[in-house]
Amino acid sequence: MAGTGEKAVAAADDALYVLTAVLLTPAQFPSVLGDDYPEACAALGLAPLVDGYGLVLGQDGAGARWTVAVDDVSLVAVAIASWDCGMEYDLSPGERTVVAALPGWPLDVAVSAPGVPAPHDPAPDAGDGPLLTPPDTSVWGPAQRRLGADEIALRWTAWREQIDDATYFAQAGGSRPEGSEPEETAQGRGSGLGREPGEGPASERAPETAPGAEVGGGESVADRTAQDASAGHRGVRRVLAEARAYVDSPPPLGRIRSSFAPGEARTLRADGPGWSMVARTDDIAFVLLDEEPGEVLPVGRGPELPRLLEALDRLAVRPS
């Protein structure tokens, strides 16, 4: 999303040359900032208002980086939609809509304003709070994990196409094509982030099956796990258990989000301590874990996953 870069809006005591903008609302916020809406707001030192904010990122006349939080969310949403369609839009929030002028940028911005010095940090005592800097995504951690989940949601078809249900989920269930090697169902890894979907040895392993799904001999994953603690992926089982707990005890706002998907399905995003899950309500799920750097773990539907996704979708916040 790119702004005009040539228009200025009033911000604090200077003019802001708009470069880009993002929404910070319960249903749409930069997930790199946190697992839920209150956490993302806290990263910017903002109170989690019910209606959210629009964040306008730009430079002042001296080239310093600024993030202006405004309460006119609709105006910012229209600007973003226009830019995404390749249209020009003069984003000029009124001074009365400005909630805070924050020094720095909380996200990476690849462009700069013409005719002003290169982007740099403002003076230490400038602005309404501490200097904002983008989260470190050079090493695997919560920020990288959430960005990975964003990538899967954005390119769902590419990631989904690498999973052959007849082969992968049959193998995860305990059967395999004649003459093939036994599957590593205890690990159940998918593709690694940083590679194209389907590349690398990780994509050759079988994905997880949701707890309650039948495995070889008619026993459930839960039954088999009771007999063999190494069966299945413990991290995935933990994620599914914590996601199921959300149904009885709703999590902070924005930790479960539902967005458009083809047909009557929804794209579901859920996050928790150390994990992210992306799913289609009519299909499978993918899980990412802090303790599994770069790995994407598919979860087969079975009889339990559809019910879990349906329950989570009822709790999820949706874009207005």
Q: What is the pLDDT of residue 244?
A: 96
Please say which residue of 50, 80, 103 terminates a domain.
Answer: 103
SS (H, E, C) 99-132: EEEEEECCCCCCCCCCCCCCCECCCCCCCCCCCE
In this structure, the answer to whether residues 85 and 151 fall within a common structural domain is: no
In this structure, the answer to whether residues 173 and 298 fall within a common structural domain is: yes
Torsion from C-alpha of 202, 204, 208, 209, nearest 10 degrees: 170
| CB contact at 8 A, 272 and 245 | no
In this structure, the answer to whether residues 216 and 98 fall within a common structural domain is: no
Query: Is residue 123 domain-resident?
Result: no
Query: Is residue 133 domain-resident?
Result: no
Predicted structure pTM score? 0.78
d(CA 317, CA 68): 25
Q: How many CB atoms lie within 10 A of CB 56?
A: 28
In this structure, the answer to whether residues 165 and 269 fall within a common structural domain is: yes
Measured CA to CA in angstroms, residue 136 lies from 139, 140, 255 at distances of 7, 9, 21
In this structure, the answer to whether residues 195 and 293 fall within a common structural domain is: yes
Query: Is residue 114 domain-resident?
Result: no
| CB contact at 8 A, 253 and 240 | no
Query: Is residue 320 domain-resident?
Result: no
Query: Is residue 188 domain-resident?
Result: yes
In this structure, the answer to whether residues 51 and 177 fall within a common structural domain is: no
**Which secondary-structure segment (H or E) carries 272?**
strand 266-272
| CB contact at 8 A, 74 and 94 | no
Among 245, 138, 158, which residue's Cα sits nearest to residue 198?
Answer: 158
In this structure, the answer to whether residues 311 and 235 fall within a common structural domain is: yes
In this structure, the answer to whether residues 149 and 271 fall within a common structural domain is: yes
Q: What is the pLDDT of residue 192?
A: 65
Specify the 3-state DSSP secondary structure of 148: helix
In this structure, the answer to whether residues 177 and 284 fall within a common structural domain is: yes
**Tokens found for residue 270:** 């859920």
In this structure, the answer to whether residues 97 and 146 fall within a common structural domain is: no
Query: Is residue 115 domain-resident?
Result: no
Please say which residue of 50, 79, 103 terminates a domain.
Answer: 103
**Tokens found for residue 21:** 């903008």
Residue 168's region, left for phi above 0, alpha for psi from -120 to 50, else beta, is alpha
Identify the domain containing residue 29 by its residue range.
8-103
Q: What is the pLDDT of residue 15?
A: 82
Query: Is residue 267 domain-resident?
Result: yes
In this structure, the answer to whether residues 94 and 149 fall within a common structural domain is: no
Query: Is residue 126 domain-resident?
Result: no
Domain count, the chain: 2
Provide the residue-wise pLDDT of the chain in tens; the chain has 320 residues: 344 333 444 444 468 899 999 999 999 999 999 999 999 999 999 999 999 999 999 999 999 999 999 999 999 999 999 999 999 999 988 889 999 999 999 999 999 999 999 999 998 888 777 899 998 888 999 999 999 999 999 999 999 998 877 666 554 443 333 333 333 222 344 556 655 554 543 333 334 434 333 333 444 333 332 323 223 589 999 999 999 999 999 999 999 999 999 989 999 999 999 999 999 999 999 999 999 999 999 999 888 999 999 999 999 999 97
Please say which residue of 103, 132, 166 terminates a domain.
Answer: 103
Q: What is the pLDDT of residue 126?
A: 81
Q: What is the pLDDT of residue 167?
A: 60
In this structure, the answer to whether residues 307 and 162 fall within a common structural domain is: yes
Q: What is the pLDDT of residue 177?
A: 35
